[in-house]
Amino acid sequence: MKLTDFDFDLPESLIAQHPLKNRSDSKLLVMDKKSGDVEDRHFHNILEYLKEGDVLVLNNTRVLPARLHGHKKDSGGHVEMLLLNPETDGYKVLIKPARRVHVGTEIVFGDGELTATAVEKHDNGIFIVKLNYEGILEEVLDGLGEMPLPPYIREQLDDKERYQTVFSKHSGSAAAPTAGLHFTTELLERIEAKGVDIVYITLHVGLGTFRPVAVDNIEEHDMHSEFYSIEKSAAERLNQAKENGDRIISVGTTSTRTLEANFRKYETFTATSDWTNIFIYPGQDILSVDGLITNFHLPKSTLLMLVSTFSTRENILSAYNHAIQNNYRFFSFGDAMLII
């Protein structure tokens, strides 16, 4: 398949710049994955499409305020650094401007509460740095960092929690699992009261979220690895659902990647902590999941390719066209889609 097969024209006015006041008031486009038929609803109507025995899978990762502005200790030059994920010998980061930073460069943040020393330099602005700080990193970042909002969002948030899901728990992501942003605590309680089981897994969103596909043949694209974890109780409930024929509905592409990577590797759901670079695109079979709740994604993105795997590329692009014609809001703070 070609990269251009996943392209579409999106008016800039439909790129959501801020979250809605009430999370579950966003629009919801419901699509039948077999026929491609769509209907227009609101996210709080999701209850009507869930039934007793369903298993709803949520990614409980928590976003680090991982975008930092500092200066080089030797020259005072401004440096922006985005934390990506911990490595054995340091922390993987994205630095701008990369050309001015070399192995041995020390970067100072705030009044020195945090410093970073470059120990490895790779392509495309990627570095391994050694972080120096006192106390707990998450607390240091809360004082110094900004939420790493995508580049198409031009304003910083007044409330950092609006780029967190209400069920976020384990810190480590460089971006939010945005499909989960539509849920409120009240809505989750109503879903459980209907007899739907909620299962939490963790995938820390990393560099792949920021990386465009740069090859014409999508099968040649290399995905970056991301860390995930599935606990024993979650694996047991998911396997029970498979045995009983209950539907498993994943919330977001991150939950889907976690479940599919785990199921393909072990041929059952297995409690583990692991890394995955799984790349899901049309032509593959989704083995682990029956339905998907997701946001509307960028043209030519790996996320759009994954979503297309749940139906057909033609059905998904037709649904996207419907969303554009009906003024749905796109991307991280935008509206949602249920494919079932």
How does pLDDT run along the chain (340 residues), one tens digit per residue? Answer: 999 999 999 999 999 999 999 999 999 999 999 999 999 999 999 999 999 999 999 999 999 999 999 999 999 999 999 998 888 889 999 999 999 999 999 999 999 999 999 999 999 899 999 999 999 999 999 999 999 888 889 887 888 899 999 999 999 998 999 999 999 999 999 999 999 999 999 999 986 766 789 999 999 998 988 999 999 999 999 999 999 999 999 999 999 999 999 999 999 999 999 999 999 999 999 999 999 999 999 999 999 999 999 999 999 999 999 999 999 999 999 999 999 9
Long-range contacts of 87-91 (CB under 8 A, 24+ apart): 87/128, 89/119, 89/120, 89/128, 90/119, 90/120, 90/128, 90/129, 90/130, 90/131, 91/116, 91/128, 91/129, 91/130, 91/131
Please give the pLDDT value at position 210. 64
Instruction: Specify the pairing of strand 78-87 against strand 67-72.
Output: antiparallel
Please give the pLDDT value at position 266. 97
Please state, as a whole number, how many other Cβ atoms lie within 10 Å of the Cβ of residue 108.
17
Print burial letters for 88-102: b (CB count within 10 Å at least 16), e (below 16): eebbbbbbeebeebe
Copy the structure tokens of residue 116.
């970073």
Are residues 282 and 308 in contact, defined by beta-carbon separation less than 8 angstroms? yes
Under DSSP, the state recorded for 331 is S
Strand boundaries in the chain, DSSP class E = 27-31, 38-42, 55-59, 61-63, 67-72, 78-87, 90-96, 106-109, 114-121, 126-133, 170-173, 197-203, 226-230, 248-251, 272-276, 291-295, 336-339
Are residues 55 and 247 in contact, defined by beta-carbon separation less than 8 angstroms? yes
Q: Give, in order, the Cα–Cα distances in Å from 269 to each of 140, 199, 239, 288.
A: 36, 13, 6, 8
Using the structure block, give the residue that is written with the tokens 């994205």. Answer: 94
Q: How far apart are CA 208 and CA 277, in angstroms?
A: 9
Please give the pLDDT value at position 88. 84
Are residues 27 and 309 in contact, defined by beta-carbon separation less than 8 angstroms? no
Q: How far apart are CA 192 and CA 299, in angstroms?
A: 35
Copy the structure tokens of residue 202.
């963790």
* 174 three-class SS: coil
| Reported pTM | 0.91
Nearest CA-CA partner of 254 in 213, 209, 286, 189 = 209
Print burial letters for 312-330: b (CB count within 10 Å at least 16), e (below 16): ebebbbbbbebbbeeebbb
Nearest CA-CA partner of 201 in 318, 289, 312, 73 = 289
Question: Angle CA(323)–CA(327)–CA(328) in degrees, nearest 5?
Answer: 55
**Residue 59 bridge partners (DSSP):** 201
Strand boundaries in 122-242, DSSP class E = 126-133, 170-173, 197-203, 226-230
Q: How far apart are CA 324 and CA 256, in angstroms?
A: 25
Please state, as a whole number, how many other Cβ atoms lie within 10 Å of the Cβ of residue 7.
12
Instruction: Specify the pairing of strand 248-251 against strand 55-59.
Output: parallel
Please give the pLDDT value at position 86. 86
